[in-house]
């Protein structure tokens, strides 16, 4: 079957270092960090007392929600997702007004959990015997599909509407699922992305697992150190990213802005076998995911100009570089440029793949490679595989044609997508 070509015609982002596409673009070009001290984490005796969380004003909230919707509203994950999603649709100039369902528009928007703060609030009310004071919006906020439900009501999307959840691979997976749905001819447009709540009730489990850093609490902007010898764990983050995927035919008919083409992708699992576990990826599966993405995209590894890696600033960073070398069969000076947005925003968990995919596409569209913050000194094991020149410490302004983005999640799940500069 001949696949329809799929392009990206709109994007939206809510990130610790920038809310909105313009602000975010300027931040990643300049290497602006969004990581800061969070007083509440100190009060609660967290080991890691820093994090990345977007700042959304009350005025901004009122641009997207009615006063009725905001009554008893306590879900920053849904808030972030709605802002990113609606911004992406507006950027694509897709009309969401009117009373009729939009059969051509679908949504695949993922999350890890939904509205933990609202759930906690509800538990206390129930325990106090105040069940009648929960309010009429509790269910729609705490159900995992809350974010897609809000977006559906705001857009009239009536094609496939799904909330996916695959830990840190969620956002990248959503893009691939949306791509496949359009490529098969089942929709003209898909709003794809992911979101993650912020705050102690989301981040506490990772603090308990001791996978977050505690060594840089006094210097938050220097704390997230992917690929560095001094990497000591990830910094928790949050936010949302969204991309409008559209058939090339539809985009050309609308004379839409085309940011990039989605060439293809792959999703798999390592089955928690071999080196794989609940918290660590199976290297064989990671390499297979990248290879299958290349095969699905119909390109060779030599065509990859840049990699936007998963790279969380843990002991697994050198392992990830080794997997890239093996999957692409490229190493040394032949290796592409590679960067990690987590050096600026931390690890945004379920939102990481979508926010980082927005960053990947922006690099293609504007012709630059954003810098890796705090990477010096580069981990010596990484330098045995690739040269320092492949890991830019300052923004490089040069055209790139093809970029690959991969995400690896708890549960040993992987997703890899390939973007190409607009035609």
pLDDT tens per residue, range 359-393: 999 999 999 999 999 999 999 999 999 999 999 99
Strand-strand pairing, 105-111 and 189-196? parallel
At 35 the three-state DSSP class reads strand
Residue with tokens 């990826």: 281
183: helix, strand or coil: helix
The Cα–Cα gap between 95 and 399 comes to 32
Across 90-104, average pLDDT? 95
What average pLDDT does the structure give for the chain?
95
CA nearest to 171, candidates 19, 391, 13: 13
Residue 314 — pLDDT band, cuts 50, 70, 90?
Answer: very high
What mean pLDDT is predicted for residues 345-350?
98
47 neighbors 207 (Cβ within 8 angstroms): yes
Q: Angle 16-163-406 (CA atoms, 0-180°, nearest 5)? A: 55
> Do 7-260 and 265-421 agree at the fold level?
yes
* Token pair in block for residue 76: 């920053």
Beta bridge partners of residue 304, listed in sequence order = none
Question: For residue 130, what pLDDT band results from cuts at 50, 70 and 90?
Answer: confident
Per domain, the residue ranges of the chain are 7-260, 265-421
Tell which CATH classification among 3.40.47.10, 1.20.1250.20, 3.10.20.90, 3.40.50.720 matches the domain 7-260: 3.40.47.10
* pLDDT at residue 419 tops 90: yes
Please state the CATH superfamily assignment of the domain spanning residues 265-421 in this structure. Thiolase/Chalcone synthase (3.40.47.10)
Kindly state the average pLDDT of the residues 180-197.
98
Place of tokens 């919006």: 137
Two tokens at 230?
Answer: 């001094």
For 31-55, write each residue's pLDDT tens digit: 999 999 999 999 999 999 999 999 9
Closest Cα to residue 390, out of 329, 350, 339, 354?
Answer: 339
pLDDT cut 90: percent of the chain above it: 89
pLDDT for 72 equals 85
Query: Which pTM does this prediction carry?
Result: 0.96
pLDDT of 423? 67
Q: Where residue 1 falls among pLDDT bands split at 50, 70, 90?
A: low
pLDDT tens, 15-36? 999 999 999 999 999 999 999 9
What local confidence, expressed as pLDDT, does residue 405 receive? 98
Q: Please, what's the b/e burial string for 218-240 (b: 16 or more CB within 10 A of its CB; e: otherwise)?
A: eebbebbbbbbeebbbbbbbbbb
Q: What is the pLDDT of residue 131?
A: 84
Q: Which tens digit of pLDDT belongs to each residue from 195-233?
A: 999 999 999 999 999 999 999 999 999 999 999 999 999
């Amino acid at each position: 079957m001949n696949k329809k070509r799929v392009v990206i015609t709109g994007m939206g982002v809510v990130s610790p270092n920038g809310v909105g596409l313009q602000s975010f673009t300027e931040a990643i070009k300049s290497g602006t960090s969004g990581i800061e001290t969070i007083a509440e984490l100190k009060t609660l005796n967290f080991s890691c007392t820093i994090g990345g969380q977007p700042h959304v004003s009350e005025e901004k909230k009122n641009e997207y929600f009615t006063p009725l919707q905001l009554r008893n509203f306590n879900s920053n994950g849904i808030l972030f997702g709605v802002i990113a999603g609606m911004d992406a649709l507006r950027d694509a100039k897709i009309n969401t007004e009117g009373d009729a369902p939009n059969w051509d528009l679908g949504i695949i928007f993922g999350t890890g959990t939904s509205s933990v703060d609202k759930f906690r609030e509800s538990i206390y009310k129930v325990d106090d015997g105040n069940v009648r004071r929960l309010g009429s919006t509790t269910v729609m906020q705490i159900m995992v599909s809350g974010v897609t439900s809000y977006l559906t009501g705001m857009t009239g999307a009536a094609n496939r509407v799904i909330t996916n959840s695959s830990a840190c691979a969620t956002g990248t997976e959503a893009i691939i699922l949306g791509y496949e749905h359009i490529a098969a001819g089942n929709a003209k447009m898909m709003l794809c992305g992911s979101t993650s709540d912020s705050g102690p009730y989301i981040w506490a489990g990772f603090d308990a697992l001791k996978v977050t850093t505690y060594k840089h609490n006094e210097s938050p902007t220097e704390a997230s150190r992917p690929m560095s010898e001094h990497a000591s764990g990830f910094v928790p983050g949050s936010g949302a990213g969204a991309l409008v995927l559209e058939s090339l035919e539809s985009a050309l008919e609308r004379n839409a802005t085309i940011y990039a083409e989605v060439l293809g992708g792959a999703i798999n699992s390592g089955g928690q076998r071999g080196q794989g576990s609940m918290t660590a990826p199976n290297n064989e599966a990671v390499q297979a995911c990248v290879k299958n993405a290349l095969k699905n995209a119909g390109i060779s590894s030599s065509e990859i100009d840049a990699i936007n890696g998963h790279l969380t600033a843990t002991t697994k960073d050198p392992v990830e570089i080794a997997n890239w070398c093996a999957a692409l069969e490229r190493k040394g000076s032949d290796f592409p440029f590679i960067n990690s947005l987590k050096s600026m925003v931390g690890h945004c968990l379920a939102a990481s793949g979508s926010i980082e995919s927005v960053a990947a596409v922006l690099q293609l569209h504007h012709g630059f490679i954003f810098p890796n913050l705090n990477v010096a000194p580069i981990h010596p094991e990484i330098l045995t595989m690739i040269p320092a020149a492949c890991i830019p410490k300052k923004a490089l302004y040069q055209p790139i044609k093809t970029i690959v983005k991969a995400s690896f999640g708890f549960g040993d799940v992987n997703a890899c997508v390939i973007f190409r500069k607009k035609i």
